[in-house]
A and B are shown apart, each in its own frame.
Chain A
């Protein structure tokens, strides 16, 4: 079946601009996660959705970052006033019910470059 998909695969923007990154989870998965992976590092947690609500947003670095999942499926990560330090690969994952034993399945990521 189809896995997690993310669009765009690459995004180049200028400092100060606004960007949106999209994630389509595996069909039927109620839990959705965003992570950020900087060059040479492991992914870092940003936010976790259970259904339409953000159950844990403790990883969002500041108020320039925001994410939504209005219908409990597709999610959009929004970054305002981008900075060069936001350059990274943004990974989305989904899992069936969000339980502790759940496996998170990752998409291919969106590579964001802020010039």
Chain B
């Protein structure tokens, strides 16, 4: 069975500082990895995905993520955080067969001015 772990319930960072939101996964076969962001009372918004190729993936709003196969990780990063980045972030994985997304429990990002 596939699973995703987001080890931090909350990440606090000062505006202008770099941010990292951690994600590790467990899946049989090749993983397809996704990051979504959720603002209050709104659905999930797609940020970026890793399918194959370059391990560094760039996405929306200046976010990027690095796929590390040996560490089974897909951490989300941004060089300079904005207060408006404060939201709930979800990592998700698809396995080789099937189209369902398996989500982590989410990490709340708080960016303070």
Contact = CB atoms under 8 A, between A and B. Distances in A.
Interface of A: 4, 31, 33, 35, 40-45, 48, 55-56, 58-59, 91, 93, 95, 98-109
Nearest to B103: A42
Interface in B45-87: 45-46, 49, 51
Contacts of B104: 42
Contacts of A33: 99-101
A4 B43 contact: yes
Given A42-B90, A101-B32, A103-B34, A109 B101 contact: no
B43 A109 contact: yes
Given A33-B99, A56-B99, A101-B32, A107 B106 contact: no
A55 to B, nearest CB: 8
B98 A101 contact: no
B105 A48 contact: no
A10 to B, nearest CB: 10
Contact of B101 (A4, A41, A45, A98): A45
A101 B100 contact: no
B44 A106 contact: yes
A92 B98 CA distance: 17
Interface of B: 4, 32, 34, 36, 41-46, 49, 51, 90, 92, 94, 96, 98-106
Given A100-B32, A103-B49, A106-B43, A59 B100 contact: yes
A75 to B, nearest CB: 15
Contact of B106 (A41, A91, A104): A41
A109 to B, nearest CB: 5
Contacts of B105: 40-42
A100 B43 contact: no
Nearest to A46: B100
Nearest to B32: A100
A33 B43 CA distance: 14
Given A105-B46, A106-B43, A107-B43, A100 B94 contact: yes
Contacts of A35: 101
Contacts of A55: 99
